[in-house]
Structure 1
């Protein structure tokens, strides 16, 4: 019995494919002498490979095509399977039905279990599809081999896709680099134009001031010379000199007033929108002077805010705060101020120490940008800081960008996509809270609300001009 088992095992090793570990199905033999299922070898040898090698010994084969079926080995395989099915069950207890003590010769397709002849006659399997064990095993081997072929085809497709990704037909990397290089070039050119315009405006302002100073000096010289003239001559020229002097003094304010420069930066607001946050007003900060809407998006001057007939130089300001605070990262929000002649935007952070800078307080807890209206003109001012510039027209929407790690707070003209002002070197030591002020109101006016713009809202020149 032991000799029979040994013989069958040796026979099985000769008729078993080393790739699928099953009996040969349409076996083929290659030059080195090793044999495999035709389908297994086909899935192992990929079309387009520079050389075919044996899957078992790795010897390079001189053949460039799958060999024909080895008929003798196929017949030996069938004989070996038949001998194994007849002899091995008598030597192994697992091939015998425990209940009826008979060999497993049948297979139930529905229950996926081996049966003896008596098991097949029971009602439990009466309506089931029953097949001989050898026939069922052959069927499933064919299905497994077909599945292996399909998987091999998918693997080959994936290998081809991987090769295409490694060497794509379209060089996306180079094309994207070229596009970004072009964009960089356009931005550099726009930067040059913007800086050139600033230099030209600075020179024009300097020339204007120089001419005004020269006119003042000439007028002072005339006044000095008039003081040495005879009485009648002085009286004759006095009225003209006095008129010119008054006119010159009236031009003084306009000559020294600085205008806020508008230098649009392409895609600036679009890039800042990557850091957009959704803010709401803190209802606890509302008072009789400032009221907040139910949706926490609008704030306006309340009835308690006393409007002075003649506004003082430094009118009182009543602030409201955002519900959100920030301790890290980068945040950007936009505020609609189109219905307000005067307003204030900024941040508040307690116990803040700021690096010393020229003309800036060394310790402050607020950083503000405010709009002030004087004699029909609008001015933007910062606190702390030097900005006190006249605007060509009121701002409809202001963007605010807080960069915690860099310690900066910047303001932008959203309509023109241009920069207004930036605070630098802020050393934050506590959470930052955005703050707002919809005033002070001007006498005889009824200002509208200050509005926190929704996350998905955008403003362009055409939209604003059509409003």
Structure 2
């Protein structure tokens, strides 16, 4: 090198493997502004070749002095099977009589040639790796920047979508309050009109009483519709795709099934039996109407999906002993189950939560339910997989392990035979284009 220090090319290559603004001497750290390997020192190269030749002769001389420990004879034969050098006398022993033997020098020479070929290939691969590493310092495409920009765009889209959805919910709430205010005003006006009619003379009363009664019935008939809340359908972009990354393979435990349910042979479906009591049992009555999963869940995030297409009524949730719910700074005890129930009534289907106050009418069919469990912070959430929307969320909960998913395919409607509740495989997906209601 320019500073006078000499190195072998392989060592210098390792020292300069990572591209740098300038090359420096590994010995004195003097920086060279020329980004090229130094010229080969011819005299030193010849000395190196001579030293290698002398080293080879020394090795051969040493080999000639090697002797077997048993007979003290020179090791002149190599056993291919045992990969062991032997003396001529040792090679004639019964242990090596049928083995393939060859002279030590010829075998060693053959292996040295193989090693030389391998060294040549290693040097070639080394140069290729150095070139690739040099190219990797300045990639042709800045993928990190591109991917970062995509995530930024996605974040902006989600924030915009969040603001739009929340504003729409505010508008819906304002519209709902306006409708309630209008109904209140209508009822007040009707009550005032009825009071005035009661004080009219009989002849005047009879002339308009039929129209007044008709209006009254019309106003009062709107009460049930106004008092029945509907569960909103607000799709969350990408939520099911994200949660699918935490899917777990769950099967049913037939030993936990009560007398009112039957588990399939593949442990993925459960059906209601004829002995089921039609009336709704208490949610904590797990003995007769529920079946537990074989697996118990602990820390982390888990997600699973359940097909309820053939069920008019069902219950899904988890069982966890001694759970508690946080309310501000206080932590209150709560039942050991967290459930989402679908209940069929004359005016339609309703989603109900236990514990909780959810009692909302469902607009359309919900063929598949997604269940997401997270221990920190404690959350269990239920999703409409087809609509990509949230149904209900219990939060925050202090879980205690183990946590067991529970399933109930009923109660069946009187006079009907409900189908199975089925656990969906981990690799299954549902979208609106491929779903056709029964």
User: Is the TM-score greater than 0.5?
Assistant: yes
Say if 2:23 and 2:31, in contact at 8 Å, map to a contact too: no
Relative to 1, partners in 2 of residues 1:145 and 1:258: Cα closer, same or farther, differing over 3 Å?
same
Is contact 1:43-1:153 (8 Å) kept?
A: no
Match of 2:306 among 335, 338, 351: 335
Q: Mind listing any 5+ residue stretches in structure 2 that lack a counterpart?
A: 69-73, 88-96
Cα gap change, 1:97 to 1:199, in 2 (>3 Å): closer
**Could you give the per-residue CA deviations for residues 163-222 of structure 1, whole angstroms, max 9, x where no partner exists?**
333332222211111111122122222222322332232222222222211211111111
SS in 1 for 2:371: strand
Does the Cα contact within 8 Å between 1:32 and 1:59 map onto a contact in 2? Answer: no
Q: Is residue 43–residue 149 contact of structure 1 (8 Å, CA) maintained in 2?
A: no
Inter-partner Cα distance in structure 1 for 2:282 and 2:48 = 111
* CA 213–107 in structure 1, closer or farther in 2 if over 3 Å, else same: same
Establish whether residue 321 from structure 1 lines up as the match of residue 292 from structure 2. Answer: yes
CA contact (8 A) 1:45 1:52 kept: no
TM-score where L is the length of structure 2: 0.76
Task: Name the CA distance, whole Å, in 2 between partners of 1:57 and 1:234.
Answer: 113
Q: Does 1:437 align with 2:408?
A: yes
User: 3-state DSSP class of the match of 2:433?
Assistant: helix
1:5-16 counterparts in 2 under 5 A? none
Could you say which residue in structure 2 is the equivalent of 1:287? 258
**How far did residue 339 of structure 1 move?**
1.0
Structure 1 unaligned runs (5+)? Answer: 1-28, 116-123
Among 191, 199, 206, which residue is 1:235 paired with? 206
**Equivalent residue, structure 1, for 2:71:** none
Task: Give 1:436 deviation, angstroms.
Answer: 1.9
Q: Secondary structure at the match of 1:355?
A: strand
Match of 1:347 among 318, 327, 347: 318
State yes or no: 1:247 paired with 2:218.
yes
Q: Structure 1's 69 and 223: CA in aligned 2 closer, same or farther, altered over 3 A?
A: same
Q: Are residues 1:217 and 2:171 paired?
A: no
Partner residue, 1:172 = 143
What's the offset of the Cα at 1:97?
A: 9.1
Given the alignment of the two structures, is residue 299 of structure 1 paired with residue 270 of structure 2, yes or no? yes
Matches of residues 255-294 of structure 1 in structure 2 within 5 Å? 255-294=226-265
Name 1:463's counterpart in structure 2. 434
Whether the aligned pair in 1 keeps the contact of 2:325 and 2:395 (CA below 8 Å) is no
CA pair 449-141 structure 1, distance change in 2 beyond 3 A = closer
Contact 1:347 1:368 in 2 (8 A): yes
- Distance in 1 of aligned mates of 2:312 and 2:26: 86
Give the RMSD, CA atoms, in angstroms: 4.7
Distance 1:76 1:361 in 2: 84
Q: Secondary structure at the match of 1:435?
A: strand
Q: 1:128 to 1:295 in 2, by over 3 A?
A: closer
SS of 2:360's partner is strand
Say whether 1:452 aligns with 2:426.
no
1:184 and 2:155 correspond: yes
Give the one of 186, 194, 202 matched to 2:165: 194
2:375 counterpart residue number: 404
Residues 70 and 466 (structure 1 numbering): CA distance in 2 closer, same or farther, change over 3 Å? same
Matches within 5 A, 1:369-388: 369-388=340-359
Q: Deviations over 1:373-405 (max 9, x none)?
A: 221311111111121111111311111111122
Q: Determine if contact 1:340/1:438 at 8 Å carries over to the other structure.
A: yes
The whole-number CA distance in structure 2 between the counterparts of 1:136 and 1:363 is 80
Distance 1:198 1:33, change over 3 A: closer
Greater CA drift, 279-288 or 446-455: 279-288
> Distance between the aligned counterparts of 1:357 and 1:75, measured in 2?
80
The 1:156–1:440 alpha-carbon spacing in structure 2 relative to 1, beyond 3 Å, is same
The 3 A distance-change label for structure 1 pair 59 and 138 is farther
Residue number in structure 2 paired with 1:414: 385
- Report the Cα offset of residue 242 of structure 1: 2.3
1:369 touches 1:380 (CA, 8 Å); kept in 2? yes
Measure the CA separation in 2 of the matches of 1:284 and 1:96: 73
Would you say how many aligned residue pairs link Structure 1 and Structure 2? Answer: 410
Give the distance between the partners of 1:138 and 1:450, measured in 2 at CA: 73
Distance change in 2, residues 1:246/1:164 (3 Å): same
Question: Which of 31, 45, 65 in structure 1 is aligned with 2:39?
Answer: 65
The DSSP-based 3-state class of the residue aligned with 1:370 is: strand
